[in-house]
Structures are given as structure tokens and as C-alpha cells.
């Protein structure tokens, strides 16, 4: 059998295993182990399988992941999001689609405390959608808004996606987290603008607006201090150079625990539930990373990434044409795979290619994260849409309909991020 075919068999096998329903982590691990066996024999395969899982899971950098997840779980169990939503509602309720816009802004604030898109989507589904149902918002608008706004949590720091990207590519996680601030704010504004235009074009999707007095608006701000404190603790310490991302995650988890206890929102049962949820999420992510690392060893042995770089370099294609092809690839993959799985599966190939074309690794990380946002709301997977439908009992097709309409705002932001890298790179360039 030709050597090229032998090298390609594990890759083909992985695609087949994913297609028949095997979890991506195990599909990568099994295919990678088979590939290593083909390339390095039984001893080489066993040597990697005996050491890679431990070395991967014992990485100091990856300790950031469970700490940020724990912080998110404390926030979710404390139900702080209710007050954040109420404040947004009183400040923005007078605008067309005001409650929907308030949901976007509340999700942006919640994302700055939790870093988990699924947690944000689930929390806002139980908070915002009942309010919008009561006010007679159409299901497509209320469900679509919560689904797309939840994606802000993976762009606005803290972000698990940035941590995974930074650990895989050996890019500064601190700079990646700071780089997500402006794109996250821009995305939130784009969603708000899309809601405003949608309601203006079709007033039937939203009820008449409600105006609140200035005293009620100012009074509502007393509930948002936990968001400000946690954002300052996590992002402020990283930006000032006072703490590493891992240390800031520990500070954030501790602050979230103290806030929850001080407000009487956390008890022993909720703390235990938060810890168990953290363990489940962390194990899922680490199994994915271990499977990807095993597959990455196979990719290294075949030198597939290096060969791809050489082929593309010899083609003399413009680097922006290649980048456009990668954007399309990630959007397509986002329709069928989880965002973390996509990163771990593709970065061993795409990152060396992008670096060879002279693009900035921080900028590419932001672009990849924005593409992951799109994947979270596009069918057939669209994880956020499924979560919103399940929690709120809204028809899935209505959630997807609203999300796809609001996706126009995300695509505009995507074009701006690609066309103007300074949006992503300005704040990291100012760091200590």
C-alpha cells in the first residue's frame, strides 16, 4: 500500500468515526493512536499513550480552565443575572425591541463574569424569555436573541475558547483575553442594532415600548456591582500585569464565591452543585484536549501541516484568498461540530499555515473565536439554539429563525475584524 494512503487512513477513519456518532474526543484519540502505530510501530504508540494524557492534563496553563468554569458556576448558582437583566430592561426598555436589546447587554455583562456561552444561554433563557413572553414578543425574536447573545461569553473575557487556543498555539493567553474586549463590545452593539432594525421593519415582533423614570433606572444600578467587581478582578489584573491568567482565574473564582456568600445566595448545596458541574465540564474539555494531542502527534509524524504550507506557498495565491477559504471552512465546520472540538482538530494544520502567511496570532485567535460564535447558532448543531429551546420550551425552528436573522450583525462584525485587525490588536498592544 502506498505510503501516502497509509498516512491518510487515520484521517479518513476519524471522519468516519465522527460521522457515525463517536464522540469527537475518542475519534481523535483512536485515529491518532492508529496513525502513530502506522508511522512509529507498537512501541512508539504505547510510549505516547502512556505519557501524553498525563502531560497534557498536568499543564499549568490549563489550570485556568477549571478555575474560570468554577467562577461561572458560582455566578450561575447565585442567580446574579436576574438583577443584571432588570437593570438593562429599565435603561433600554423604551427603545424598539427594548427588552431584547436589554437581553443582549445583560448577556454581555454576564459573559464578562462566566466565560461560558452555554451557561449564558441557559441562564438568560430562564430569565429573559419569560419576561418577553409576558410582554408578547414573538418567539423568533425572543429565542433568537437569547441564543445569539449567549455567544458573547466566548468573546468577552474570561473565555474558555481563548484559553484553549492559547494553550494549543503557545500564544499569550493574557493578550488573547484582552484582545476580545473590543470585538465583544462591537458584537453586542451589532446585535442591538440588528434588533432595532428588525423591529422597525416588522413592528409585529415586538410590543410597544415601556419607559422608566430616571430614578428607577439609577436605582437599578445598585445590583450590577458584582459584575463590575468580577470584571475588574479578572480583566483588570491581567491588563495591569498584576496577575497571570491562571492567577486572575483563581481570584475571580474566589471573588464569585465571596460575593455569593455575602449576598446570601450560595449555601453548601449550591456550592457542591457548582463544584460537581465544574468537574463534569472540565473532564469533558480535558478528554477533548487529550484526544487532540494524540492526534496531533500523528499529524507531526506525517508532517502534513508542513507539506500543506509548502504546497500553498508554491501556489502563489494571495494570502487573503487563503484566509477567505479558512473562514468558509470554519463556518462549515461550525455547522456540524462543537467549537472547542473544531479548534483542537484544525489548529495543528491551520495555525502553521496562517503564521507562514504573516498574520498575527492574536488576531487569528479573535477571528477563530468569532467564527466559533457563528457555529454556536447555525444549524444543524447550533448548540446555543438547542439549549434555548430546551430550557424555554420554544419551538426549535423559531429559535433558529431568529438567530439566523440576527446573524447578519455577526457577519458584519466578522468582516470588520478581518478588514481592520487593529480592532483586536490595539488593547493588547497597550498592556504592561
Assess whether pLDDT exceeds 80 at residue 249.
yes
Tell me what pLDDT residue 159 has.
84
Residue 48's pLDDT band (cuts 50, 70, 90): confident
Assess whether pLDDT exceeds 90 at residue 246.
no
Tell me what pLDDT residue 128 has.
83
Burial of 119 per CB tally in 10 Å (0-12, 13-18, 19+):
buried
Assess whether pLDDT exceeds 80 at residue 65.
yes
Whether the Cβ atoms of residue 200 and residue 96 lie closer than 8 Å to each other: yes
Q: Model confidence over 265-301: pLDDT tens digits?
A: 899 999 999 999 889 888 888 888 888 888 878 877 8
Cα 11 to the chain's mean position, in Å?
A: 26
Residue 401's pLDDT band (cuts 50, 70, 90): very high
Tell me what pLDDT residue 305 has.
64
> By three-state DSSP, how is residue 324 classified?
helix
Tell me what pLDDT residue 359 has.
94
Mean per-residue pLDDT, 377-392: 82
Cα 1 to the chain's mean position, in Å?
A: 42
Domain parsing of the chain, residue ranges: 60-429
Residue 222: which H helix or E strand, with range? none
| Among the listed residues 335, 74, 432, 2, the one whose alpha carbon sits nearest the alpha carbon of residue 229 | 74
Secondary structure (DSSP) of 391-428? HH---HHHHHHHHHHHHHHHHHHHHHHHH-THHHHHHH
Residue 349's pLDDT band (cuts 50, 70, 90): confident
Mean per-residue pLDDT, 132-145: 89
Assess whether pLDDT exceeds 70 at residue 1.
no
Q: Model confidence over 85-116: pLDDT tens digits?
A: 778 878 887 788 888 888 888 888 777 777 67
Name the DSSP class of 382.
-
Assess whether pLDDT exceeds 80 at residue 117.
no
Q: For the chain, give the percent of residues with pLDDT over 90.
A: 22
Tell me what pLDDT residue 390 has.
83
Q: Model confidence over 4-31: pLDDT tens digits?
A: 666 678 888 888 888 888 887 888 889 8
- Lowest-confidence region among 108-117, 245-254, 402-411: 108-117
Tell me what pLDDT residue 366 has.
95
Amino acid at each position: 500500500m502506498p505510503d501516502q494512503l497509509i498516512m491518510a487512513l487515520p484521517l479518513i477513519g476519524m471522519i468516519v468515526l465522527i460521522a457515525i456518532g463517536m464522540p469527537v474526543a475518542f475519534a481523535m484519540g483512536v485515529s491518532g493512536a492508529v496513525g502513530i502505530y502506522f508511522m512509529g510501530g507498537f512501541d512508539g504508540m504505547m510510549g505516547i499513550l502512556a505519557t501524553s494524557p498525563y502531560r497534557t492534563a498536568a499543564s499549568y496553563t490549563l489550570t485556568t480552565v477549571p478555575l474560570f468554569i468554577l467562577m461561572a458556576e458560582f455566578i450561575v448558582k447565585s442567580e446574579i443575572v436576574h438583577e443584571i437583566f432588570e437593570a438593562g430592561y429599565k435603561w433600554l426598555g423604551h427603545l424598539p425591541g427594548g427588552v431584547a436589546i436589554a437581553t443582549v447587554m445583560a448577556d454581555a455583562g454576564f459573559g464578562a463574569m462566566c466565560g461560558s456561552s452555554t451557561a449564558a444561554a441557559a441562564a438568560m433563557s430562564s430569565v429573559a424569555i419569560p419576561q418577553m413572553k409576558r410582554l408578547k414578543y414573538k418567539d423568533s425574536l425572543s429565542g433568537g436573541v437569547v441564543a445569539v447573545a449567549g455567544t458573547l461569553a466566548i468573546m468577552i473575557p474570561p473565555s474558555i475558547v481563548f484559553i484553549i487556543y492559547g494553550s494549543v498555539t503557545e500564544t499569550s493567553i493574557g493578550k488573547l483575553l484582552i484582545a476580545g474586549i473590543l470585538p465583544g463590545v462591537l458584537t453586542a452593539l451589532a446585535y442591538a442594532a440588528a434588533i432595532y432594525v428588525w423591529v422597525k421593519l416588522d413592528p409585529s415582533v415586538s410590543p410597544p415600548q415601556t419607559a422608566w423614570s430616571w430614578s428607577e433606572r439609577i436605582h437599578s444600578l445598585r445590583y450590577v456591582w458584582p459584575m463590575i467587581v468580577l470584571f475588574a478582578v479578572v480583566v483588570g489584573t491581567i491588563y495591569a500585569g498584576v496577575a497571570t491568567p491562571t492567577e486572575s482565574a483563581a481570584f475571580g473564582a474566589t471573588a464569585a464565591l465571596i460575593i455569593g456568600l455575602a449576598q446570601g445566595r450560595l449555601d453548601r448545596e449550591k456550592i457542591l452543585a457548582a463544584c460537581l458541574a465544574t468537574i463534569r465540564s472540565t473532564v469533558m474539555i480535558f478528554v477533548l484536549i487529550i484526544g487532540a494531542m494524540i492526534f496531533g502527534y500523528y499529524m507531526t509524524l506525517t508532517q502534513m501541516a508542513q507539506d500543506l504550507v509548502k504546497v500553498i506557498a508554491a501556489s502563489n495565491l494571495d494570502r487573503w484568498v487563503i484566509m477567505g477559504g479558512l473562514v468558509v471552512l470554519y463556518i462549515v465546520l461550525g455547522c456540524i461540530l462543537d467549537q472547542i472540538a473544531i479548534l483542537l482538530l484544525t489548529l495543528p494544520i491551520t495555525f502553521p499555515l496562517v503564521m507562514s502567511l504573516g498574520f498575527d496570532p492574536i488576531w487569528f485567535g479573535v477571528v477563530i473565536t468569532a467564527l466559533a460564535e457563528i457555529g454556536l447558532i447555525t444549524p444543524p448543531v447550533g448548540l446555543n439554539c438547542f439549549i434555548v429551546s430546551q430550557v424555554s420550551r420554544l419551538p426549535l425552528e423559531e429559535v433558529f429563525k431568529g438567530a439566523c436573522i440576527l446573524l447578519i450583525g455577526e457577519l458584519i462584525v466578522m468582516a470588520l475584524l478581518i478588514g481592520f485587525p487593529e480592532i483586536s490588536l490595539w488593547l493588547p498592544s497597550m498592556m504592561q
